[in-house]
Amino acid sequence: MSFFRTLLNDSVLIRPPGFYIIGFETFPFISVYFIFLAFVYVITVLSNSLVIYIIVVNHCLHTSKFIAVVNLAVIDLVLTTCLIPSMINVFLIKDNFIPFRLCFVQMFVYYTFVSLESYALAILAYDRLVAIHFPLRQNSINTVQSMCCIVGVTWWFAFAVTAFSTGIMARLSFCGSVRVFSYFCDYAPVFRLACNDYTMQWWAASVLTILILVVPFTFILLSYVSILVAVFRMKNLDSRVKALATCVEHLILVAVFYFPLIIIFTIGFYLRLIDPDRRVLSLSLASCLPPCINPIVYSLKTKEIKIRMQALFRKNNVGVDQTSPNSSHTKVFALATALATVNMPSGDPQTNHALQASFFSLTVSHCNQQPYGHNSATSTMAEQNVVNLDSIPPPPLERG
């Protein structure tokens, strides 16, 4: 009966102005940790933004695989932005009060995007499964439309489940302490502060843990068991190595994300065998590091993204070189313009002849500086042209 009484109770609820976040009380040099997290945040934003930009502007990357990759990058960006700036404000600037409604907004955003991160890793496992099991039919099975549908369903499901779990927190009354021992407005530390029965919230937290961690992780494990079976059926050793090499980076992401969260949730939430401060530190690392590691270990190491990234940097370097006033491109252009000017009938033939020689010399030196191969035969011919040019007598002066 307490379960339904918690859901239907319309009695007076006590809602405080807000909560105080009080984690990391026993760590003496915790400010160093948050300076490190600030560095992690900058790296996360830059690397994930680069991944999103490269995939969006290159239409040839608008495939099912890179839809899954850009989905992961967007999730990492939002999750980190929801968490790290707030942690720096709370623990480094010492502004640890968070208003009541804003607390639940942060709780909703965090658990929504942690859920989406888990599902995004499962989607990447599905992409590897199709690619290895059906290499010839991959494009017909895993189409752009089907991948968009899968991503859309995971977003809808994560929003719906987290909205329900966060919404039932409004049925709690907080008449005692408002000190949340965590690094943000965490679900379990907040509902344990309630004065009335929180059985429903406890069950919601348990089901949420199963839905956002256990189910996707089980799917990933089964996918890789199936992948291993398919790989060891291959007769060619090189094919086995290549197939397994495409899965290594994804397995690293899975280990970095799932193992800390599953262990800490199991020991901390259910068994309560871990020190509270260590639990908070471990969970904060487990939440903040994967969004930084994902693009570095997986996305930016993808062959297609790496090629486009190198082309982008090369294009920017060439653009800077061409617009530089001291660059050889600019000098050649300016000299060619001057040469065209002095070729007018009113020009001085001696000056015209000198500028021609200078133009050829500069062209030869410019060719010698080109990064994409150097043709020594062409350079020699150009140098001969410059030498022979000196032996050509100047043209006769025009008579008025």
pLDDT > 70? residue 8: no
Alpha carbon dihedral 364, 368, 374, 378, in 10-degree steps, equals: 10
> What pLDDT score was predicted for residue 398?
45
Q: Which residue has the tokens 């068991």?
A: 225
310 burial type by CB count under 10 A (0-12 exposed, 13-18 middle, 19+ buried): exposed
Query: What is the DSSP secondary structure assignment for residue 94, as one 8-state letter?
Result: -
**pLDDT of residue 206 exceeding 70:** yes
Predicted confidence at residue 120, as pLDDT, reads 95
**Where is pLDDT greater, at 148 or 245?**
148
pLDDT band at 340, cuts 50/70/90?
Answer: very low
DSSP 3-state percent helix, strand, coil across the chain (nearest 5): 75, 0, 20
Output 155 or 6, whichever has higher pLDDT.
155
9, pLDDT greater than 90: no
Smallest CA-to-CA distance from 122 within 287, 130, 191, 312 is with 130
Query: CA–CA separation, 167 vs 189, rounded Å?
Result: 16
Cβ atoms of 45 and 82 closer than 8 Å:
no
What is the C-alpha to C-alpha distance for residues 69 and 299, in angstroms, rounded to an integer? 7
What share of the chain in percent tops pLDDT 90?
A: 38
Chain segment 87-105, per-residue pLDDT in tens: 999 888 888 899 999 999 9
> Which region among 22-26, 28-32, 266-270 has the lowest average model confidence (pLDDT)?
266-270
pTM recorded for the entire structure:
0.74
Q: Of residues 342 and 25, which shows the higher confidence score? A: 25
- 103 vs 318: which has the higher pLDDT: 103
Residue 244 has pLDDT above 90, yes or no: no
Note whether 364 and 382 are within 8 A (CB). Answer: yes
What pLDDT shows up at residue 390? 46
Name the range with the highest mean pLDDT among 39-48, 236-245, 311-320: 39-48
The arithmetic mean of pLDDT across residues 291-305, rounded, is 85
**Lowest model confidence (mean pLDDT) among 139-153, 190-204, 304-318, 334-348:** 334-348
User: What are the tens digits of pLDDT across the range 383-393?
Assistant: 444 444 444 45
**Residue 270's pLDDT band (boundaries 50, 70, 90)?**
low
The total of other beta-carbon atoms located within 10 Å of residue 187's CB is 25
- Among 83-92, 154-163, 187-196, 205-214, the range with the most confident prediction by mean pLDDT is 154-163
